């Protein structure tokens, strides 16, 4: 993967090469292997390269040999060799052996519709001098990022927000986006936490006219309606197994070493087993992190998988000190609060892995398309409570959530979800750090009822609609942003095979009864995994990639957390209600409640504000 920047002037002035270079300098970590810059009058492109395919060739920005068409591209086209052969059969002159030129020539010949035949993860800008058009586009699921800002006289774009700032000037907080962050732990598109900076949505393209006209176009959508009859039985098992193996095979395409994250959980273990099979016994390097806390430390499980599959395994140990030392730096890389405690561990794994590989495969996405979280199995049990009028249910569940002991974590989380005033808000609250009434207590004007519309738009049973919502919010705007930024902070490319678009489309055709059976989610993935892994690995209880923050906030990070949230220069204690923050800290420090998620969310906002807005 790489970093891309660019600008379209709207005032007749040429693009300043110095500005492009200043923008690209912010993305050196995304492309330490080289850079390039081109200006075409009112349009300018910059690029920083992480060489993965065609290492000696494929410099960017790239210009077509057949027409004045130009591209700056971040990502990989996994079926590029097949598409390249098709272009050669059609007599298209090609100058390189890489995937960038395949994308360039596909766009030159077919425009946006040419993306339908490409399998990959990408974000790019394409300029066609023949009609003056400038096209920005993002891959189907949103694996790779793209941001833009409109200002008087120009439009600028970049892979990360920080790269826009040399063109935009001082950054300002978008007040409206703060509540979204407190709701989702991320900010849904088009908003960002930076005022005036927008995020291009997954599967979306943006046309920027020479006159400043902006036109959005959705070129791919997650299927909202079931395409034909649901897939069931052995046919579903065979289809998903084959599609997953194809997805893993495609993501092994590289001219550099490829390794894998290995948590010891089902998804990463299955991915690694398929890698080993596809390499026919060749070496596979795996990387895992541990936290020296027996409640959450999965290093023994990762080692067990490594020994069963036969990988060359590496371990990284993460401590509270790592969090304190890396927090501000990783907020800078994230262009926002690091929303998940595991972000720090993922960065440390990538940092260590960079010594021997340039690409890591991950198990990201499986939970959201095959129903891996406990909430998917838990939701049907809540039907009777969910059917109660909101006027009765909300106060009842608020009281229940306060009275349940900390050991009843899942029951407390279910009670919190049931405080949602309607179905869409309930689904939003499962992963929300702050409920609507907690947000209202934090700041006047917060807590209004709203929906992003995904639950209403999707068709099918309740589980299918839950997955559809999570793919558009939790996955796209939180986990995938995390995966990209934390890996690229260490100049590592992250590839999630479960998010191959053909596999995702197939998953949304699989009957829901093959995803959740009884208390078990991801049933179909487990059945496929039995073909490749020992039963004791497949049937192990899901732990999740957890960090022992509850104890760290009462121990090594106690003073750090207190000073950041309540110190004299604290942003959050001025911006939000100080008394509510004090109550959270007291409840957690005295062991009354485990408030680690809410404390983490507020601390993330504070550290982000200090590092990215105060400088």
Q: What is the total count of domains within the chain?
A: 2
- Tell me the sheet residues that pair with 246: none
Considering the domain boundaries, does residue 582 fall inside one?
no
The answer on 33 and 71 residing in a single domain is yes
420: domain CATH number? Answer: 3.40.50.620
* pLDDT tens string 371-392: 999 999 999 999 999 999 999 9
> Given this model, what pLDDT does residue 406 score?
75
> Given this model, what pLDDT does residue 597 score?
92
The answer on 120 and 52 residing in a single domain is yes
Considering the domain boundaries, does residue 608 fall inside one?
no
Spatial CA neighbour of 168 closest among 187, 183, 155, 182 = 155
The answer on 457 and 411 residing in a single domain is yes
Largest Cα–Cα distance of the chain, in whole Å? 73
> Given this model, what pLDDT does residue 545 score?
61
Query: What number of helices (H) and strands (E) belong to the chain?
Result: 28, 17
Q: How many CB atoms lie within 10 A of CB 517?
A: 15
Residue pair 243/190 in contact by the 8 Å Cβ criterion: no
> What is each CA distance from 367 to 186, 263, 454, 484, 514, in whole angstroms?
18, 14, 18, 18, 14
DSSP string computed for 434-476: S-HHHHHHHSTT-------SHHHH--SSHHHHHHHHHIIIIII
Q: How far apart are CA 304 and CA 537, in angstroms?
A: 8
Prior bond of 61 cis (ω within 30°): yes
**Which residue, 547, 571, 603, sits at the end of a domain?**
547
The answer on 246 and 176 residing in a single domain is no
The answer on 81 and 35 residing in a single domain is yes
The answer on 436 and 498 residing in a single domain is yes
| Pairing of the two strands 43-49 and 35-40 | antiparallel
Considering the domain boundaries, does residue 31 fall inside one?
yes
**Which residue, 493, 518, 547, sits at the end of a domain?**
547
The answer on 232 and 140 residing in a single domain is no
Q: How many CB atoms lie within 10 A of CB 74?
A: 31
Which runs of E-coded beta strand occur in 200-320?
Answer: 204-208, 214-218, 258-261, 285-290, 312-317
> Given this model, what pLDDT does residue 296 score?
66
Q: Which residue has the tokens 């996994």?
A: 78
The answer on 264 and 142 residing in a single domain is no
> Given this model, what pLDDT does residue 414 score?
96
Read off φ and ψ for residue 33, nearest 5 degrees: -90, -5
Q: What domain range is 422 assigned to?
A: 222-547
Q: How far apart are CA 50 and CA 30, in angstroms?
A: 6
What does the angle CA 213 – CA 219 – CA 222 come to, to the nearest 5 degrees?
A: 135
What does the angle CA 156 – CA 161 – CA 163 come to, to the nearest 5 degrees?
A: 65
| Pairing of the two strands 359-361 and 493-495 | parallel
The answer on 194 and 293 residing in a single domain is no
CB-count exposure of residue 244 (10 Å: 0-12, 13-18, 19+): buried
Considering the domain boundaries, does residue 585 fall inside one?
no
Check the CA dihedral 120-124-130-132 and report its sign: positive
DSSP state of 5: E
Considering the domain boundaries, does residue 552 fall inside one?
no
Considering the domain boundaries, does residue 557 fall inside one?
no
213: domain CATH number? Answer: 3.60.20.10
**Which residue, 547, 568, 587, sits at the end of a domain?**
547
The answer on 243 and 211 residing in a single domain is no
In the chain, which residues have pLDDT < 50? Answer: none
pTM tops 0.85, yes or no = yes
Q: How far apart are CA 111 and CA 92, in angstroms?
A: 15
The answer on 419 and 374 residing in a single domain is yes
CA 451 remoteness from chain centre = 21
List helix spans (H) across 379-538: 383-386, 390-403, 409-417, 423-429, 436-442, 454-457, 462-470, 480-488, 501-507, 523-529, 535-538
The answer on 340 and 202 residing in a single domain is no
Considering the domain boundaries, does residue 453 fall inside one?
yes
> Given this model, what pLDDT does residue 141 score?
98
Considering the domain boundaries, does residue 580 fall inside one?
no
Residue pair 35/24 in contact by the 8 Å Cβ criterion: yes
CB-count exposure of residue 90 (10 Å: 0-12, 13-18, 19+): exposed
């Amino acid at each position: 993967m790489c970093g891309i920047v660019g600008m379209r002037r709207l005032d007749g002035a040429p693009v300043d090469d110095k500005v492009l270079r200043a923008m690209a300098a912010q993305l050196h970590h995304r492309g330490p292997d080289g850079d390039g810059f081109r200006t075409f009058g009112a349009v300018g492109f910059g690029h920083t390269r992480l060489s993965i395919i065609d290492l000696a060739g494929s410099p960017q920005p790239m210009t077509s040999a057949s027409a004045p068409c130009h591209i700056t591209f971040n990502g990989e086209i996994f079926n590029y060799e097949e598409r390249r052969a098709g272009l050669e059969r059609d007599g298209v002159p090609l100058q390189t052996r890489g995937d960038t030129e395949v994308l360039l020539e596909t766009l030159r010949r077919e425009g946006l519709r040419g993306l339908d035949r490409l399998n990959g993860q990408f974000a790019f800008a394409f300029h066609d001098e023949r009609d003056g058009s400038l096209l920005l586009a993002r891959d189907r699921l949103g694996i790779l990022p793209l941001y833009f800002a409109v200002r008087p006289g120009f439009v600028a774009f970049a892979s990360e927000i920080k790269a826009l700032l040399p063109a935009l000037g001082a950054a300002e907080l978008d007040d409206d986006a703060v509540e979204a962050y407190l709701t989702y732990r991320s900010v849904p598109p088009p908003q960002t936490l930076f005022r005036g900076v927008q995020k291009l949505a997954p599967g979306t393209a943006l046309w920027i006219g020479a006159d400043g006209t902006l036109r959005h176009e959705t070129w791919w959508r997650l299927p909202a309606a079931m395409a034909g009859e649901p897939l069931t039985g052995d046919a579903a098992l065979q289809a998903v197994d084959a599609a997953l193996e194809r997805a893993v095979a495609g993501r092994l395409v590289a001219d550099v070493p490829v390794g894998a994250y290995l948590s010891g959980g089902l998804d990463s273990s299955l991915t690694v087993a398929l890698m080993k099979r596809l390499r026919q016994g060749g070496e596979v390097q795996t990387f895992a992190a541990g936290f020296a806390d027996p409640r959450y430390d999965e290093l023994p499980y990762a080692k067990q998988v490594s020994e069963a599959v036969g990988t060359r395994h590496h371990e990284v140990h993460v401590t509270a000190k790592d969090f304190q030392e890396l927090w501000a730096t990783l907020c800078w890389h994230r262009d926002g609060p690091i929303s998940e405690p595991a972000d720090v561990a993922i960065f440390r794994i990538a940092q260590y892995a960079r010594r021997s590989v340039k690409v890591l495969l991950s198990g990201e996405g499986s939970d959201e398309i095959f129903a891996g979280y406990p909430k998917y199995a838990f939701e049907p049990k809540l039907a009777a409570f969910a059917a109660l009028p909101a006027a009765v249910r909300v106060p009842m569940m608020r009281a229940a959530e306060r009275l349940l002991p900390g050991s009843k974590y899942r029951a407390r989380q279910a009670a919190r979800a049931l405080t949602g005033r309607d179905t869409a808000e309930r689904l939003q609250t499962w992963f929300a750090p702050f409920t609507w009434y907690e947000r209202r207590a934090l700041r006047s004007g917060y807590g209004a009822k709203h929906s992003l519309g995904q639950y209403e738009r999707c068709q099918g049973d309740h589980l299918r609609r839950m997955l559809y919502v999570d793919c558009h919010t939790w996955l796209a705007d939180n986990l995938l942003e995390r995966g990209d930024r934390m890996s690229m902070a260490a100049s590592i490319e992250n590839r999630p095979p479960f998010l191959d678009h053909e596999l995702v489309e197939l998953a949304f055709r699989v009957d829901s009864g093959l995803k959740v059976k009884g208390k078990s989610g991801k049933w179909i993935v487990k059945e496929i995994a039995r073909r490749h892994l020992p039963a004791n690995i497949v049937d192990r209880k899901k732990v999740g990639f957890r960090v022992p923050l509850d104890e760290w906030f009462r121990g090594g990070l106690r003073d750090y957390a207190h000073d950041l949230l309540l110190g004299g220069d604290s942003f959050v204690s001025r911006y939000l209600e100080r008394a509510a923050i004090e109550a959270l800290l007291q409840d957690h420090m005295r062991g009354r409640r485990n408030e680690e998620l809410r404390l983490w969310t507020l601390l993330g906002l504070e550290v982000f504000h200090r590092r990215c807005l105060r400088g």
